[in-house]
Amino acid sequence: MLSDVSGELVGAALSVKDAIGGPVSVAIVGRDAASFGARMNLPGVDSVVLAAAGDEHFDAATAEQALCSIIEAERPRLVLIGHSASGLGIAAGIAARLGSGFAADVFGIGLEEGRLRATRSGYAGKVNIELEFPGKPLVVMTVRGATFKAPSGEGAAAIREAEIDLAPVAGRRTRHLDFVEAPAAGVDIGKAEFILSVGRGVQDEKNIPRFQALAERLGATLGCSRPVADSGWLHKAHQVGLTGKVAASCKLYVALGISGAVQHLHGMKHVETIIAVNTDPNAPIFNFATYGAVMDVFDFADAMEKLS
C-alpha cells in the first residue's frame, strides 16, 4: 500500500526541480513494486524505477541495499525519503554509506547560490533551523508528511526495472513473524471529527477524568500528546502525533496544555480549525492555531463547564 507521503515526496522534488535541474525519478522497492508503478507516474516525474526485492513485509536491510544500488546508478543530487518509521529505518544508513549530507524531518527545501538548503525544527519546535551541506554532491533528506502537496493526474514517465545487487545483505535480513494488535481502547482518533486533546498542562493523572467528562459534554473525542500517553495517564490509542494517530477526519481540534512539538503537529496541524490554550505565549502550537488563548487550562475548563 502506498502512503500519502509517497506523492508528497514528488511534490517536494518538483518544488526544487527547476532550480536544481535534471530529472525527477521515483524509486519503488518491494516485492510488488511493479503494481505501484502506474500510481507513481505523476505529472512532473521523468522516470519510475522499479526494484522487485524483499517480501510482503518491510525489511530495512533489503530496502537500504536496493536504494543504494539505484542511487549509485542514477547519481542524483538530492534523495527524498518519507519521515516515517520505515523511512527513518533506512535514510541515515543510506547517507552514511554514500557519504552524503543528511537532514531529517525536513519541511522546507531550497537552493541558494547553488547550495542546497533544508529547513527543519529544533528545540522542540521552538525555532526553525536552516542546514546547508558544503562539499556534499549528494544530500539525503527525510521529508515531513502533510507538508508538500502531491501532484494530481497522470504523467508521462518512463517506467523501467532497476538492476540491483542484494548479495551484500544475503543472510543478514530480519524475518517478520507476526503482528500483535494493541488492546482495544474504544476510541478511534483517526475517525473523530471533533477532538479535545490534553497535554502536560493538565499537570496530573488525577485531572484526566475532568477533561474526559468535559470532552463528553462537548461531544468531542478525548485525545492527548505523547507525554500523557507515555506516563500511562491515557491509553496509547488516544495519542495524536507521529508515534500516535493522525486526526485524519478531524474538523475541530482543541489543544489544552500542549506545547506543539513537531511530533504532535504531525498528527493535527492539517486540521481546518485549531484552538490552542496554553500559559506560554511562545508555545509553537500558536503558530498553527486558528484561535489561541494564553490562559490556564483549568480556567478554560471552568468556563466551558459553565457554558455546557
Map out the domains of the chain with their CATH numbers.
4-169 (3.40.50.620), 189-307 (3.40.50.1220)
**Structure confidence at residue 125 (pLDDT):** 62
**Structure confidence at residue 126 (pLDDT):** 66
Cell 542546514, residue?
131
Burial of residue 282, with CB atoms counted within 10 A of its CB: 0-12 exposed, 13-18 middle, 19 or more buried: exposed
What distance in Å separates the CA atoms of residue 92 and residue 214, rounded to the nearest whole number?
43
* Predicted TM-score (pTM) of this structure: 0.71
> CB neighbours (10 Å) of residue 299?
12
According to DSSP H, which parts of 83-164 are helical?
85-98
Residue list for the binding site for FAD = 200, 225-226, 239-243, 257-264, 278
Per-residue pLDDT for 308 more than 70? no
**Structure confidence at residue 127 (pLDDT):** 79
Cell 518512463, residue?
158
Mean pLDDT taken over the chain: 91
Q: How confident is the model at residue 172 (pLDDT cuts 50, 70, 90)?
A: low
Calculate mean pLDDT across residues 39-54: 93
3-state SS class at 193: coil
Residue list for the binding site = 200, 225-226, 239-243, 257-264, 278
Backbone angles phi, psi at 30, to 5 degrees: 160, 165
Close Cβ partners of 145 (under 8 Å, ≥ 6 residues apart) = 3, 4, 5, 8, 82, 83, 84, 266
41-50, 69-78, 180-189: lowest mean pLDDT where? 180-189
Per-residue pLDDT for 255 more than 80? yes
Per-residue pLDDT for 181 more than 80? no
Percent of the chain surpassing pLDDT 90: 72
